[in-house]
Structure 1
């Protein structure tokens, strides 16, 4: 049997439309701080309080470009003394093409931070090491679970204020 259909362009789908795509346009540090308030040597294994937050906003240029921000914060405490506090706001510009609206939020809040995380993790490890402490190696993050937690909080906040809760797409 012979295929008589016309050849497709390399980036066209079966219906002739360009398939959905994600491009990383750039990554950068928006804000970074490291505080060593006590200059105290580590006497015991410190407790680390770690915070992670993800956000996404459309970029002013439009064209399907979004800025995704991954915020990491860590506070190390040993014997009631704060050893260090570090905060990193690491962002990336992502261009999305032909992404269905139902998949837009999960893509921005799960997949994009997943791409940013290894770079942000390295920065936090280096800044704590340069601050005179062992490098803080953050364990891998389950961004699906983080997204679901944020979604539940948004639902609860909407219910408490009497608004219509958001619909989860993922």
Structure 2
């Protein structure tokens, strides 16, 4: 019988390390631009249409075993007709220590870690758009499993193996 247990380094009290630990979370990059200010605020007569894009990136962090940075990349482009109202870009990251078998690493990095980060990124985007003079952009819950599965095409290289 082969040992399928996760690589684990015991924590000081002798217990195995937890499978997923969020060490820190932070805003890596935040940009908010209102290209047509101040005129856009005078001309704005209707709710802008907001186009959203979201991506998840993960990479190993040097200096620690089983340590990864996971980044949620969110972009919101708001327009009324052809007129740009605002552009918001957010890169919200977390540094995680992950102790799971290799075959579970990718779904943990691209599904479980973003689930933990998402509520905080959602709040930052809502605050920055509201503070920028527009209605807050409230992101709907994201199905990170479907996002991960859509990224996995034929010949896709697993995350964290580069």
TM-score greater than 0.5 by the shorter chain:
yes
- The answer to which structure, 1 or 2, has the higher relative contact order (CA under 8 A, 6+ apart) is 2
1:35-75 per-residue CA deviation (whole Å, 9 max, x = no partner) reads 00012023112211100000100001122110000000000
| Counterparts of residues 121-140 of structure 1 (less than 5 Å) | 121-140=122-141
Counterpart of 2:98 (choices 91, 96, 99) is 96
Aligned equivalent of 1:79:
81
- Partner SS, residue 152 of structure 2: helix
Write the distance in 1 (CA, Å) between the matches of 2:80 and 2:36. 11
The farther-off stretch of 20-29 and 119-128 is 20-29
Q: Distance in 2 between matches of 1:93 and 1:18?
A: 20
State the match for 1:37 in structure 2: 35
| Structure-1-length-normalised TM-score | 0.78
Q: What TM-score, normalized to structure 2?
A: 0.82
Whole-angstrom CA distance in 2 between matches of 1:115 and 1:68? 10
Q: Which runs of 5 or more residues in structure 2 are unaligned?
A: 1-9
Instruction: Give the number of aligned pairs.
Output: 142
CA drift of 1:19 comes to: 6.9
Q: Compute the RMSD of aligned alpha carbons.
A: 1.9
Larger radius of gyration: 1
Unaligned runs of 5+ in 1: 1-11, 156-164
Runs of 4 or more off by more than 3 Å in structure 1? 17-20
